[in-house]
Each structure stands twice: as C-alpha cells, then as structure tokens.
A and B are shown apart, each in its own frame.
Chain A
Amino acid sequence: MRKWIGATAAMGMLALGGLAGPAAQAAEPSAPKVIRVGATQAMDSMNPFLAVRLVSSSIHRWMYGYLAVPDSKTLQPSPDLAESWTTSPDGLTWTFKIRSAKWSDGQPITAADAAWTFNKMITDDGAKTANGPAVENFASVTANGQDLTVKLKTPQASMLDNPVPIMPKHAWEKVGDIARYEANEYPAVTSGPYIAVEHKKDQYVKLKANPDYWRGAPKIDELQVIFYDNPAAAIVGLKKGDIDLIGRLAPPDFEALKGDENIVQWNTEGRRATYLQVNHGATTSDNKPIGDGHPALKDPKVRQALHYAIDKQKLVDQVQNGLAKPADGSIVPPMYKDFFWQAEGEKKVSFDVAKANKILDDAGYKKGADGIRTMPDGSRKLQFRFSIHTDAPIEEKLAEYLTGWFKELGITLTTKRLDSSKFTEETGTTALFDIAISGWSVNPDPEEVLATHLCSRRPTASGEGGGTESFYCDPQYEALYQQQLKELDRPKRADIIKKMEERLYTDAPVIALYYPNNLEGYRKDRIAKVTSIPEDKGMLYGGSGYWPFYTLEAVSKDGAAAEDDGSNTGVIVGIVAGVLILIGAGYFLTRRRKTVADDRE
C-alpha cells in the first residue's frame, strides 16, 4: 500500500511538473512567427457558401480572393482577382480580366473558377445561403480563358463591392450537396494570403501563410484565430498574452485594457450608425397599414420635435463612455468620407428642448392637466413605447435619457424589452412598435444600408420577406436610389447618395444618434506592425478586406524573458504541487498506520 501511494505521489509530481511543458517548448530557437487573433464568436461553417457569421466571413476574406477589394487608402474598389474590368455603355455587361495567378495547390486561377462560383449560386439554392442576394441581379455569367463576363438584369453601380469569394472550381465541383458540405478538408485550396490548415470546432482555426500568394507571402508564418465565449475572458487572454489582437470591443471591455503598457488601445471611427427607428405609419409592400404605431408619429413635425429633444453629445458621453461621435448626419458613418453627408446651417438639428416644445405647440399638440400632450383632435395622449433588447445595458441607459428628455416635451416614453428574435419580428415585420433602437454596419459601398429603406423591403401582407429598417416608402428616396444604381461615375453617385441621406435626416423615419467607434486592442510586444483599413486611422479586425491581416508583422523573438518567465512559473507550480502531494501522502500514510494499529488493538 505504501509503495502504491509513493508511486502515485511520484506520478503526480511528474504530472504537475510537466504542466509547464507547453510553455517551455515555445522557447525553441527557430520558432515560427505566429500571431493569435481572439474572436468572441465561433465559426458557423468553413464553407463560404453557408457561413453567415462575421468571424467566418472575416476568415474567408483572408483565405480567398474576390473580384475586387476596397483600396487600403481610399476604400474605393481596387483590383483583386480581377486585375481590370470594363462596363458596356448600358451598364448591363461587365467584363473582368482574371489575374494569372495560382491556387495554393498549384492549379491556375481562371475565369472558369469565378463563373463556376457565381453559377453555382444562381442554380443551386443551397449555395445561396450566405450571399444569395449578391447574384440576384445576375442574368448570366460566362467564362472564356481569363475573361469573365457578367450580364446583369438591371444596372448596378455597387457591382464591384460583390461580397462573394471566388472558389476553386477543381476542388469544389466534386462536392455533392453544397448545403451540407462542411469544407473540413485541410489544407484548404485558397487564392488569398492565408491557407486554413486546421479547424477545431469552437476552439480555433489555424491559417498558414500562402507562400505563392500573388501579392507576395505574408510576413508572418501563421495566423491563428482563437475563439472565446465571453469578452471578459478574451480581455484576460489579451492581457496575459494568450492572444495578440482582439476587435469589436464594447466600451467597458475596451477601457479594461487601459494602463497595460504592452497593449495598444486602438480607437478609431467605426463603420456603424446607431439610430432610432420611428414607426411613422408602417405599411406592407402593397401599401396596407400594418402594426399598432402611435398615430402622432405619422406627423413629421412630431418626429422632428423628438429629434430636437435628443442631446446626442450627452448620449455619447454617458452611454458610450465618450467612445462615439454624435450623429449630425444619417445612416452612413463619417469613416466613409466619399459617401458621408452631414447637416449644416439651417437644416442641422441641434439639442433644443424649447424649440421642440414650440414645434409641438404650433402643431396643436396641447398639454393636458397632467402635463402630457394629446393629439390635436384630443383622441390620444402622446404616450410612446420604446422597444429595446433584453440584457442590453447600453440600450437601457439610452432609454433612461430619452425618457427624461421626452418628458420635458410632455411625451411619455415607456421602455419595452424584447428578446432578439421577438424584437426583429416586431420592429421588422409586424410593426408592433412606436420607437425602436436600431443600427447598421455599413460596407465600403453603402448600397445595402440604403436599400433597407426602400418600399420593396417592406413585408408582404402575409408578413413575408422584407429586411426593412424603417417601413419607409418615399417616392423621392425611391427615385434617388434608382438613379444611383445606374450612375457609374463615383463622385456623381456619391452626390445622389448624399441626397438620400439628407432625405432620411429631414423626413426622420430614422433618427441617427451617434456613430460608435471601432474599438480594438493589440499587444505591441507581439505585433510589430499592422496596417489598418483605411490606412489612415482605420480598422483592424473590424475592417473589410484582408489588408490588416495580410500586412501583420510579428515582433522578432528576442524576448527570451517571457519564455523564462514561463519556465519559472512551471518550476513554481511543480514545487508547490509536489509539496502538496507529499503532505497529502504523508497524511494518508500516518492515518493508514493508525488504523492498522487500531485494528490490532
């Protein structure tokens, strides 16, 4: 018995001492340059035809080429796998010249790859899951050598912002049912800067640099994406050095990084706008009223009064910890300089409760004895609901401020908390709301966010379809949208888009509150250089395209100190554990002796 315990103790010592193993191993001299990126979301699929999560599309952007990608300086479409393109005068036929480059398995990249990818999506419903709408307007796609011809049904200026990664035909045409294909074969065949070599579900994805990448191989050897289930743990991971970079941080998590000398807090303009969605008389796509919105909100004057009663700077300071920009524009955030519009002079709505009250007084909304205004016909009090998500502290705070300001107008605002699927339903389909919180991440080409306010996006009478962000249906806005679709001259198109933003600002079916900053953090003792997109104070993980991750440079491994630290830790653990086990073993041994003696009594 004593021998057995001794052996166990020895094993235990060995085991716990060995815990330091992995840390010590990292100290090998020719260590590859590895950068680890944390993500607070796991991959839903490695198959780009199916993956919808942001983390998945980001990883796919590092693996595959596109027709065009945003330029790292201007964010304008620039050549990627398509090295050049031409458009027919009617804007319906696009011809792309596909670059002579190679897939990571050595096969040449041709127009047939691109044609196969798009045609697969057009013909196979299973392949439409991730990016179906991107080929909705495609009439036909044909390939001839390196020439790809796409014929459109109607002109589409946003053609070059196409979000579909070009897939290798030779590797993917063998796939039977694309809707069920996991794409878990490694190494993946890719054309971008990285090749996925391993994926452990819910744990990590390993990407190796593509040595034959046509722009030149990345400067690091390996990029790892490590999944965390909660942001707090990821922050601990970054501080400890388990990961080197993390993006998409909420203000409190971002502020938790303060004071760490090895961590760079990356705080830049973001791609998102946060706004209020106002039920201004929601209708279905056949123009029948739907929902139970308050009738007062149909009056643009009431919406305007609400707009005047919001102190956006205060919201930024109090709700977003100052990490946002008050919105004097609409749904396109200022980081997109070409397309951003903001109100100036007369048009600009600034915080002015007195003015807001005057607008309501003039429009005939009289205050009752209880201080609450009523409709001019006296039918209903101005009592609105404010729909927000459950468990959203930022939205709760926002609701508190709005309730306070609206009270000064004689308007009661009550907060209605909904879980996310119910929220989406009530504010996007059934219109059972008065005012709701909303927001949208805008792509370098803003067409998609503009389209969310089109008549056609309203739900059908049976509650189908949609994707509206406002139930908006305005002839002027509609006409401008059609106009910008056909305008292939970028500055001219930008002018039309700005007019659309202005229309949304003045008519106020949505009221923009602020543009949240893009908050990220990275370790400067691990990452020597990273180029943001756009290059001038742009985004890293949150940005579109592979530029930041392609340009990553690792700090060369002369930091032996860190490794020594690891081994020391191991030694300490080993010693402590050993001592504990010895004490334990000793205790049991003495006890055993005692009981044996007891039995003998």
Chain B
Amino acid sequence: MTISTPPAADAIAEEPARRGLLRYAVAKVGGALLSIAMVIVATFFAFRLLPGDPVRALAQGRNMTPEQLDLERRRLGLDKSLLEQFVQFVNQTVHFDLGTSYEYKRPVLDLIGERIGATLLLTGTALVMAVSLGIWQGARAGWKPGSRFDKFSTGVSLVLWSVPTFWLGLLLLMVFAAGIGPIPGIFPTRGIESVDAPDGFGYVLDVAKHMVLPCLTMVAVVYAQYLLVMRSSVLDEVGQDYVTTARAKGLKDDEIRRRHAVPNALLPTVTLVFMRIGFVVGGAVTVEAIFSWPGLGQLFYEAIRVPDFTLMQGTFLLITVSVILMNTLADVIYHVLDPRVRSA
C-alpha cells in the first residue's frame, strides 16, 4: 500500500499543474487572437494613410483618360466609402481571402504562395545556421569570459553585426561570384537556380550552390545576437552552486558546460529563436534584393513602391500574424520548459 502512495500523490500534484498550463495556454492564445484582430484593423487604416493615389501610380506615367481611371478605381473597389471598404476587407480577411493585387491583378494569396517557399528556404536555413553558430560560440565564450576565444568570437560577431547587410552582400557577390585576382568566381550572381538547372539531385545541388552567398550574408549579419544572449546566460550559470557541485564530483569542465550549464542557459535563447522564426516569413528584403532571390521580401518592396494596397496588406498581415503566433508559441513552450515560470 505504501508503495502505491507516491504515484497517487504525484497525480494529485500534477493535475493542477496541467490545468494551469492549459489555462495559461488558452489565455495566451486568446491574447494572440486579440492582437491579430487589432493588427487587421490597424493594417487597413495604416496603409491608407500612406501618401499617393494607387490608381494614378499604376498608370505609371501612361496616358489614361478620366473614364479609364474611374474604371480602374471601381475595379479596385476604391470608389466605395472607407467604411464599406473596411467591412469588405475584414470579411475577406477572416475568410483567408487577402484580395487581388492592384499591380499583378492576381490574388495576393497566390502571389505569396509562389514566393514563400524560396523565402522560407533561405531564411530558415540561415536561421538554423545562425542559431547553431551563435549558441555554440556563445556558450564557449561565456564559459571562459575574457579568454582569447571569447574576445575573438565576440569581436568578430559584433563587427559583422554592425556591417550594413547591403554592403556585405555586395562585397561577397563581387568577391565570390565575380571572382577577384586568385579567387575564382564560383558562385552564381543571382537567383535560386540556374536557367538550365538539371533535374533531380543535380537540381538540389544547383539550388544549394545558389544559396551559399545569400545564406552566408544573412548568417554573418545576425548570428551575433544569439551569441551575445547565449554568452551572457552562460556567464550567469558559471558561478552557480550546481556547477561547483559538478566540479566537486570531478566532472570534466567541457562536460559540465555541455550537460548542465548550457541547457539551463538556453531559455532566453529559445525565446529569441521563436521570435525570429516569426520574422523568417518576412524574409530579408535586402538580402533578397542583392542576390535577386525570388522571395517575399522583393514582393513586399515592390508593393510599397507602387503602392499596391492589397498586396502590402496581405504580406504585412502574414508577417505580423506569424510573429504573433510564434511569440505565443514561445511563451507556451517557455512555460513547459521552465518550471520556475509556472510557479511564478
């Protein structure tokens, strides 16, 4: 009988904890939905505050008669009152219809769908690489602050962090795509694939080759933030009692770092990573522009230039919603990972 008591007690203790998590998650998701609703409203009005008449901008200096402009305005629904436009916009948005692009004359969702793959591939890969590099270097640097490794890696990452993306990208393009002196230009100058790309495995290689420079640019510019967060959290752990205990047990220094300090120090980085995942969808306008990467960033940029209201709204909503969702997810996961948050 006495043997069965501990599990029962455990069950009783766990039940409120699980319910707590559920309640916490529901509250967080509710908050996220509220944020999304506010974003939808803000998106609609914010983009209409932008200067410029989209119909006139679309004419792009071509001769258009007043009748034609009227027609265009009717076609885009711009002849209706702001309230009517707003109701229509909300109604469409909640039905996952992001409207029709002014410039491309095609559904915004289709345009996004065509480009999101390329963006996710590039920014996703870059994120994974930047996070791995940042965590690895940050953990080592924080473990022995002031060491040569710390000074070197922190220094390099900070220099790259402060370099303008456009400049670094163009530099890499000129050196490794065009080739300078003894360095051969081995990487392509643009895009995600060659015009005559082979099929099958060859295609994968071709895309990989195209990804090297844009990926390198993105990683170089952003990995410092993971490194610094990781470094400072590891630094916090170094003086902790459990570390001293582990040392006293005779564990190797590397082992203590890898098995005890790093897992404890990962929490702030997890939050950061999840926030970044949200931004992955937004892509990197600059990097995409340098390497002519056919992704979302370029689409968004073009949309602002016109201005193409529906397309801007669509891409903007997509980006903000994914950031909100990922933030919520980060909150919930944080809750699961760290018991201290739960009790607090």
Contact = CB atoms under 8 A, between A and B. Distances in A.
B109 to A, nearest CB: 14
B241 interface: no
A21 B205 CA distance: 9
A239 interface: yes
Question: Which range holds the interface residue count of chain A?
Answer: 35 or more
Contact of B170 (A179, A227, A232, A239): A232
Interface in A195-241: 200-204, 206, 224, 226-230, 232-234, 236-237, 239-240
Which 3 A-B pairs rank lowest in CB-CB distance, beginning with the nearest? A421-B52, A465-B66, A202-B294
A5 interface: no
B138 interface: no
A353 to B, nearest CB: 33
Interface residues of B, number: 68
B189 A240 contact: yes
B290 interface: yes
B205 A451 contact: no
Contacts of A132: 64-65, 68
A133 B63 contact: yes
B289 A229 contact: yes
Interface string A80-123: 00000000000000000000000000000000000000000000
Contacts of A21: 198, 202, 205-206
B115 A204 contact: no
B202 A201 contact: no
A601 B254 CA distance: 14
A484 interface: no
Contact of B205 (A18, A424, A457, A568): A18
Contacts of B208: 15, 19
A180 B179 contact: no
Given A19-B205, A572-B184, A236 B174 contact: yes
B206 A22 contact: yes
Contacts of A280: none
Interface of A: 15, 18-19, 21-22, 25-26, 36, 44-45, 50, 52, 125, 128-129, 132-133, 136, 179-180, 182, 200-204, 206, 224, 226-230, 232-234, 236-237, 239-240, 242, 419-422, 424-425, 428-429, 440, 448, 451-452, 457, 460, 464-467, 568-569, 572-573, 595, 598-599, 601
B306 interface: yes
Contact of B291 (A25, A182, A233): A233
Nearest to A130: B62
B340 interface: no
B41 interface: no
B73 to A, nearest CB: 9
9 contacts: A18-B205, A26-B196, A180-B105, A420-B52, A421-B53, A465-B69, A569-B186, A572-B184, A595-B255
Contacts of B65: 132-133, 136, 465
Nearest to A237: B189
B298 interface: yes
A568 B194 CA distance: 19
Nearest to B205: A18
A452 B291 CA distance: 38
Nearest to A182: B106
Interface string B291-321: 1111000100000011100000000000000
B197 interface: yes
Contact of B290 (A26, A52, A229): A229
Given A18-B202, A425-B53, A133 B64 contact: yes
A467 B64 contact: yes
A253 to B, nearest CB: 13
Given A25-B198, A229-B298, A595-B254, A421 B307 contact: yes
- Most chain A CB atoms below 10 A, which of B179, B184, B291: B184
Contacts of B178: 236, 239-240
A424 B305 CA distance: 12
Nearest to A201: B114
Interface in B97-133: 100, 103-106, 114-115
A442 B63 CA distance: 13
Contact of B51 (A136, A419, A429, A599): A419
Contact of A419 (B52, B106, B179, B288): B52
Nearest to A180: B105
Contacts of A240: 177-179, 185, 189
Contacts of B193: 200, 203
A233 B62 contact: no
Given A229-B298, A464-B70, A425 B189 contact: no
B34 interface: no
Given A21-B198, A133-B63, 12 more contacts: A18-B201, A21-B202, A22-B202, A25-B198, A132-B64, A179-B75, A240-B179, A424-B52, A428-B56, A457-B63, A464-B70, A601-B250
B173 interface: yes
A429 B57 CA distance: 12
Nearest to B305: A420
A143 to B, nearest CB: 26
B184 A569 contact: yes
Contacts of B100: 180
B93 to A, nearest CB: 20
A25 B206 CA distance: 12
Nearest to A242: B189
Nearest to A418: B51
